[in-house]
Structure 1
Amino acid sequence: MTYKFAALALACGFATTLSAQNINSITQEQTTRIVSTLSSDDMQGRASFTPGIDKAAKFIQNEFQRVGLQPLPGKNSLMQTFEVYRVAPVAYKAKLDGQDVAPENIFATTEKTKISWKQKNKKALVRISEADDFRAALRNLKPDEDALVLVHPKHTEIFKRYQHYLGEGSVKQKLGENTSRVFILTDQQTEPSKYKIEVKNTIEKLPLTNVAGMIEGKRKDEFVVFSGHYDHIGIQEAVEGDSIANGADDDAAGTTAMMMLAEYYKKQPQPERTLLFVAFAAEEIGGFGSKYFSEQLNPDQIVAMFNIEMVGKPSKFGPNSAYLTGFEKSDLGKLMQKRLEGTAYSIHPDPYPEQNLFYRSDNATLARLGVPAHTISSVQIDQDKTYHTVNDELEQLNMEHLTNMIRAVALASEGVVNGEDTPTRVDKSQVR
């Protein structure tokens, strides 16, 4: 053991363990190899349901096999494949008081192949007036009733944005759980004496795949999850000839960190708790990968989740630092801080609460089930110019910082992994 790492271990208040001795086995060379592969043009931006995402899944599977990870309990494959439904509109027709409504002034949210409404169906009628807040009005719609929503032309811009988004189709984990709503852009503010609405959709069943591996611990039924999402947004409108949104920071960086931690912990003695390493699918289109994963395990057996996202650039707190979303919702962050005392690394509370980052990554699904599930990130989200653009390229990453972030998580997670630290549970009533 070098003096440097012995001092680190002592400063952190724990014995000179193998993990402290071998933290330098997490190398910048290996980090660069993995993140550059995941963010290469060959992956075509890793959009869900594309050949690019399939290539990425196969690469991650091969790396897990190389490291020696085992499938999750009860599984015989590292590939955790499941199906979702893509609902896409085919045709809209509407009449209000016998007058045709132009199709460009209609959109619908429904999971049905076809709906046909007439006034005798007695659907709820809702008006979003000129003075209303459009998004607030949407939130106030009753979740358990179908509704015809008349929208004042003042809201044309936001109406068109929703229409465009839904026109590309929406993905559902299950069908038949939600109500149907039809939105019509109109200056008619009186209740129509009669109406006729027809909507037709196509419904397609499509596969998604998480890649998940395990290092079995001495406590087989106590799980610690390390995760990152490996999907991104694929092909976009070209900027200076480049149309591939490579997603180097979002989230090839976090997925790389998770994969490197799998190899790191595989080289250590058998952990006290069972470690699960998961590359989630479909975070960008609704978090379907983490939702499916959460249904395969008893959440009460998951001690903690270290979700890693966008750690390829230094944070506002400086190099070798990151922040933890939802810091106040459990004491996992404080336990991590204690483990990092006296080292070159630091973890801080989320400095961007207005961004709702705690709910914008895969940790939120397990947090809602009471798991101390948080996301580790370092992106300066209020200033980052490459987020969800074709400029999120490998060249934008600080490889030294990314490598040090992986080392920091390795040190900060050790107490949870070896059974010495057990974070408090998230209060389910305090998450939405």
Structure 2
Amino acid sequence: MYKTTTPLNKLSFVLFLVLGACASQKKERIVSVDQQEVHRIISTLADDRLKGRAVFTPEIEEAATFIEGEFKKAGLQPLKANENDFLQRFQATQIKPSLCEILLDGKELDSDAGFVLSDQAGLNWNTDPEVRILSISASDNFRKKYKEISQQDINAIVCVDESFVKEFNYLKQHADNGRILLNTDQKKKGSLVFVLSKEQPKSFRINYTGTVENKGLANVVGVLPGRSKPNEFVIFSGHYDHIGILKPIDRDSIANGADDDASGVTAVISLANIFAKQKDNERTLIFAAFTAEESGGYGSQYFSKQLNPDHVVAMINIEMIGKDAKFGANSMYLTGFEKSDLGKILQRNVKGTGFSFYPDPYPEQNLFYRSDNATLAALGVPAHTVSTVQIDKDNYYHTVKDELETLDIKNIVSSINAVALGARSIIAGKETPTRLEPLKN
């Protein structure tokens, strides 16, 4: 458990000395993160009171209000001069299943053995030859095969091998919470019905109805205007939504999302405080807490459309920094490290502190395009995610066990300090990361 009397860790002290040496040359005060403040912020966001910060709940609105208050205290400004607050509001359509009956070869599946992914309000299939029967077998790479299938605009029943029950249940949880579409999105005509079964059915009947509602979402965005290069943006971001209420385990049903991603949002707020006090940013700094990342990255998608990507110099997205990385303490990894030189710049700026930035050790997980950096990265922005989570073996990920008590506050502190130091030459306008190759539509 964290104790407020714990002194700053060794890295924080080393960073303080390094930054202090720079300060003596530039005659300015260098600020590092306050450990007690880190604990206060993350404990608020991960508190049971917020019930896992699921989208479209009063609790996520409470979380947004808290983050907005922190941005105000830091001295940030709204993204646009004519805005009165820090909430970047937008509308989305939610399609939530109200009826889902799946019969294969005359036998109705249990409710936990099937789900529907559809942009349509209803389906009524009865052994239609135009409905394809596909499989994700035990020998397949589940994530790759799922992506291939879901990107097609087809009607299909997808039989998933029971060995992928964990992945299946994760997708079903999202489907049950409701499919979200930005109101600017073009709806897919095709629908997918996923069933947990090795055998492909010879006959089927699908009866599905979805309740359609138009609802509001909001990112929380604050700005520190640049002194000499105000039209060049550096973004620090994390997502403040999580997955809400799950099936109880030992009477606990709240998926608190302490590491995912209260730790990242805590870092964003802390960085806002650091840079606001230093007041030496030549480029404009944007601090963003995104909504609906867990539902498909809709918050960052909307945010990205409000900016000219040519004006964004770099984006550092922060995701799950509450535990030691695979490389040990005082280290982080950067997704898509090889795609630009942002990681090399960060590493060069922390040289001598004992901290290191590494390439992503989990390329098979495709993390670069699974977080909120993805939309701007696809447009050519050097947008990357920094993280410490050992994603291949973190048993608390997307469970009710992701609580404050499982995190190392000192790891969060050292990571925040390292990002602050690593990014200084970029925010000072002295270095500009190389651009990415934009993805073709």
Superposition TM-score, scaled by structure 2 size: 0.83
Change in Cα spacing, 1:229 to 1:328, as seen in structure 2 (3 Å) is: same
Gap change, CA 1:423 and 1:188, over 3 Å in 2: closer
Q: Which amino acid aligns with 2:48?
A: D
Report the alpha carbon displacement of residue 396 of structure 1 after superposing the two structures with TM.
2.0
Deviations 1:104-162, CA, capped at 9 Å, x for gaps: 5875432222355689x984544549899595765555966542447599899699746
CA shift in 2, pair 1:138/1:246, >3 Å: closer
Counterparts in 2 of 1:278 and 1:200: CA distance versus 1, 3 Å: same
Name the SS for the 2:375 alignment partner: helix
- 1:82 — aligned with what? 90
| Partner Cα separation in structure 2 for residue 344 and residue 359 of structure 1 | 29
Counterpart residue number, 1:147: 155
- 1:318/1:151 CA distance change after superposition, 3 Å: closer
Distance in 2 between residues matched to 1:391 and 1:204, nearest whole Å = 31
Corresponding residue number in structure 1 for 2:211: 202
Q: Does 1:22 align with 2:30?
A: yes
Of the three residues 404, 407, 432, the one matched with 1:397 is 407
Equivalence for 2:349: 339
Distance (Å, rounded) in 1 between the aligned partners of 2:362 and 2:156: 37
Q: Is 1:260 matched up with 2:270?
A: yes
Residues 3-42 of structure 1: matches in 2 within 5 Å? 8=18, 16-17=25-26, 21-24=29-32, 26-42=33-49
Letter in 1 for 2:357: I
CA distance in 1, matches of 2:335, 2:136: 37
Inter-CA distance 5–229: structure 2 relative to 1 (3 Å threshold): closer
Q: Distance in 1 between matches of 2:236 and 2:436?
A: 17
Q: Distance in 2 between matches of 1:360 and 1:252?
A: 17
Q: Deviations over 1:323-381 (max 9, x none)?
A: 11110010000011111111232211112222222222211121111111111111222
For residues 252 and 401 of structure 1, the distance between their equivalents in structure 2, rounded to whole angstroms, comes to 14
Q: Extract unaligned runs of 5+ from structure 2.
A: 1-12
Give the match's secondary structure for 1:260: helix
Deviation per CA, 1:221-240: give whole Å up to 9, x if none.
11000011111222223333
Distance 2:82 2:345 in 1: 32
Match of residue 251 from structure 1: 261
Give the C-alpha shift of residue 259 in structure 1.
0.4
1:109 partnered with 2:117 = yes
CA distance in 2, matches of 1:144, 1:251: 30
Superposed, which structure 2 residues align to 1:317-332 within 5 Å?
A: 317-332=327-342
Q: Distance in 1 between matches of 2:137 and 2:346?
A: 50
Matches of 1:6 and 1:154 in 2, distance apart? 52
2: distance between equivalents of 1:158 and 1:385? 12
For 1:324 and 1:204, locate their aligned partners in 2 and report how far apart those are by CA, in whole Å.
38
CA contact (8 A) 2:236 2:315 kept: yes
The aligned residue for residue 387 of structure 2 is: 377
Deviation at 1:310, TM superposition (A): 1.3
Question: Is residue 69 of structure 2 the alignment partner of residue 56 of structure 1?
Answer: no
User: 1:222 is matched with which residue: 227, 232, 235?
Assistant: 232
Work out whether residues 143 and 179 of structure 1, in 8 Å CA contact, stay in contact via their aligned partners in 2: no
Q: Secondary structure at the match of 2:253?
A: strand
Indicate yes or no: 2:170 matched with 1:170: no
Question: How far did 1:75 drift?
Answer: 5.0
Tell me which residue corresponds to 1:274. 284
Match among 363, 378, 387 for residue 397 of structure 2: 387
Query: AA paired with 1:200?
Result: T
Q: Which amino acid in the other structure matches residue 205 of structure 1? A: N
Partner amino acid, structure 2, of 1:219: K
2: CA distance, partners of 1:409 / 1:130: 41
- State the alpha-carbon separation in 1 of the partners of residues 322 and 136 from structure 2: 45
Counterpart of 1:147 in structure 2: which amino acid?
N
Percent of aligned positions with the same letter in both sequences?
43
Q: CA deviation at 1:429?
A: 3.9
User: 2:81, 2:146 → 1: CA distance?
Assistant: 42
Q: Aligned in 2, Cα 1:11/1:164: closer, same or farther, shift over 3 Å?
A: closer
Match of 1:314 among 324, 328, 332: 324
Deviations 1:276-324 (A, max 9, x none): 0001111112111111100110111100001111112222323222111
The letter for the 2-side match of 1:110 is: S
Partner of 2:314: 304
Assess if the C-alpha contact under 8 Å between 2:265 and 2:318 holds in 1: yes
Distance 2:322 2:434 in 1: 29
Q: Is the 8 A contact 1:92 1:103 kept in 2?
A: no
Distance in 2 (CA, whole Å) between partners of 1:65 and 1:164 is 35
CA apart distance, 1:400:
2.0
* Residue pair 1:94, 1:100 contacting (<8 A) in 2 also: no
Aligned length: 420
For residue 392 of structure 2, give the secondary structure of its aligned residue in structure 1. Answer: coil
The structure whose Rg is larger is: 1
With normalisation by structure 1, the TM-score equals: 0.84
Q: Quick one: distance in 2 between partners of 1:302 and 1:152?
A: 41
> Is 1:44–1:245's contact at 8 Å kept on the other side of the alignment?
yes
In structure 2, give the amino acid aligned to 1:57.
A
CA contact (8 A) 1:309 1:376 kept: yes
- For 1:46 and 1:150, how far apart are their aligned partners in 2? 31
Q: Deviation at 1:100?
A: 6.0
Distance 2:167 2:399 in 1: 24
Q: CA RMSD in A?
A: 3.5
| Residue number in structure 2 paired with 1:211 | 220
Q: Once the 2 structures are TM-superposed, how far is the Cα of residue 46 of structure 1 from its aligned partner?
A: 1.3
| 1:118-157 superposed matches below 5 A | 123=130, 125-128=132-135, 141=149, 145-149=153-157, 151=159
**Greater Cα shift, 405-414 or 316-325:** 316-325
Three-state SS of the structure 2 residue aligned to 1:365 is helix
Q: 1:427 to 1:163 in 2, by over 3 A?
A: same
Inter-partner Cα distance in structure 2 for 1:109 and 1:243: 25
